[in-house]
A and B are shown apart, each in its own frame.
Chain A
């Protein structure tokens, strides 16, 4: 008699978990979303990941998105609003309903809204999902943000210049991707002697005028024989590109300049970037496409661009940003002179191109030796470095770390510790008299914020105690709630005297607007924890600043005693 195991009990089928990513913003954000998700697919290939995006941005990027997402839902507003001017709302309403029906056919476990626009928040509210991350509206038309990383993004990104995180890292944090491995510098593959230049941007304030690019191209072609340049851009940039290519200064180099503006699809552009040695341009999706292809990038950041947020996410990324006082501005700020455009000399761009072509990298030593201090005095020069799977921008200018740079580093440590639950190791920044003073100012503001948070905890506790007493007094609960409102107002006033604390103050305003709970007790508990988190963030920042100042004093006294010995 033989035992047969043919009739084994079949293993139970593990249900596929579906994540839906909502990204309604433009090409650049979509590519950065794809970069974040690429890491999730590597660590969790078992997940089904679908993307919901606007078709005018997602369809041209299909060659990239289909590599990463199991399915893309293209929101085609052109079709939805087709002849709506004549037919009114009815057809559009049916169009959006049928789009939603299609998505709601998916069994979505988690919906993650990575675009922080109102439209995406309304769309998120209409998509059926067991859990929702990111912004969405409830039925009383109140925006909800329940996860802390989305609250950080909502309160700090595009609000000032103190967000220390790359958008890709923020997306990874929101999704919960923990990649400890560093992005390795890709092996240099054989590439053509071509530089791709995208001298345009979505807004005029973010791009140099044609003349400046003509100077860069002229010097680059003159100093680098055998190198050719491809100018790329969209169809609506053709006229602007002709202002460059038809400039008399470039006449002798005409055979080495190829104007591809308006002539390539994004898939074709991506192939060109893969072959090119270097990409140079302003902040735009072309830089992110270059990053996907491991092509070295040199970005010239101007206007409202935040280099720490949008530098192409890869190890060979360089970024030049002006030290102009008003940089980075807001897209709505009036500006007639564009001082930041003048503060980055074209010479530093052409010298960097030459260095990258010949030696493939730029170091702080090279900047010190090869770039005139006159040219470097008005710029910040950064290089991307990866640490524990996250990108940092490291200054390539040894003796210049400004106050925003220092605060960004400190915020990075503090946010990572309090929200991300991991430790960032960043060396103590070198201080100047100005940055030292700014840090001391921040200490005073932090002390106020800490004390207010402690008061907030106290009054939240009083409310809880009152509720749990035998005879709760509504008048007393109201009185304590009023105190908490006053504390909130006082906290927002600290921002006026300590603008460098805006990220904490804005974050806690968003945090407190999104307290959890459906009863007074739960809401008050949630309020208590919000104040506690604020106090803890303040004390961490306070300690970091104190240590930075102590280190500075120690280093300065060592230098002074050494020079005393030399006397």
Chain B
């Protein structure tokens, strides 16, 4: 099991809930989204 993926999914659900309720995100939330984007890009890069 990929622990990073599991953690990101959990955090994402929390952030999504905040966005839906129009609650402002925090720097921590943005860092989590950033990490997820970077990891996606790394995966894409490794396929090229």
Contact = CB atoms under 8 A, between A and B. Distances in A.
A555 interface: no
Interface in B1-29: 2-4, 6-8, 11, 19, 22, 24-27
Contact of A84 (B4, B25, B33, B41): B4
B25 A93 contact: no
A322 to B, nearest CB: 23
A117 B27 CA distance: 19
A333 interface: no
Contact of B11 (A80, A89, A96, A125): A89
B42 A77 contact: yes
B37 to A, nearest CB: 4
Contacts of A499: none
Nearest to A125: B30
A123 interface: yes
A36 to B, nearest CB: 23
A336 B48 CA distance: 19
A119 B41 contact: yes
Contacts, number: 77
A85 B39 contact: no
B48 A119 contact: no
Tell me the interface secondary structure of chain A in the complex. helix
Contacts of A117: 37, 41
A97 B35 CA distance: 10
B24 A122 contact: no
A118 B40 CA distance: 11
Contacts of B2: 85
Contacts of B3: 84-89
Interface size class of B (residues with CB under 8 A): 20 to 34
Contacts of B6: 88
A141 B19 contact: yes
Contact of A97 (B22, B31, B33, B42): B31
Contacts of B38: 75, 77, 80-81, 96, 119
B2 to A, nearest CB: 5
Nearest to B5: A85
Interface in A137-175: 137, 139-141
A126 B7 contact: no
Given A88-B3, A89-B35, 5 more contacts: A56-B45, A88-B7, A89-B3, A117-B37, A141-B19
Interface of A: 24, 56, 75, 77-78, 80-81, 84-90, 92-93, 96-97, 100, 117-119, 122-123, 125-126, 137, 139-141, 202-203
Going nearest first, the 3 A-B pairs with the smallest beta carbon separation are: A89-B7, A88-B3, A119-B37
29 contacts: A77-B41, A77-B42, A80-B38, A85-B3, A85-B4, A86-B3, A88-B3, A88-B4, A89-B7, A90-B7, A92-B4, A92-B35, A93-B35, A96-B31, A96-B35, A97-B31, A100-B31, A117-B41, A119-B37, A122-B37, A125-B30, A126-B30, A126-B31, A139-B26, A140-B19, A140-B25, A141-B19, A141-B33, A202-B48
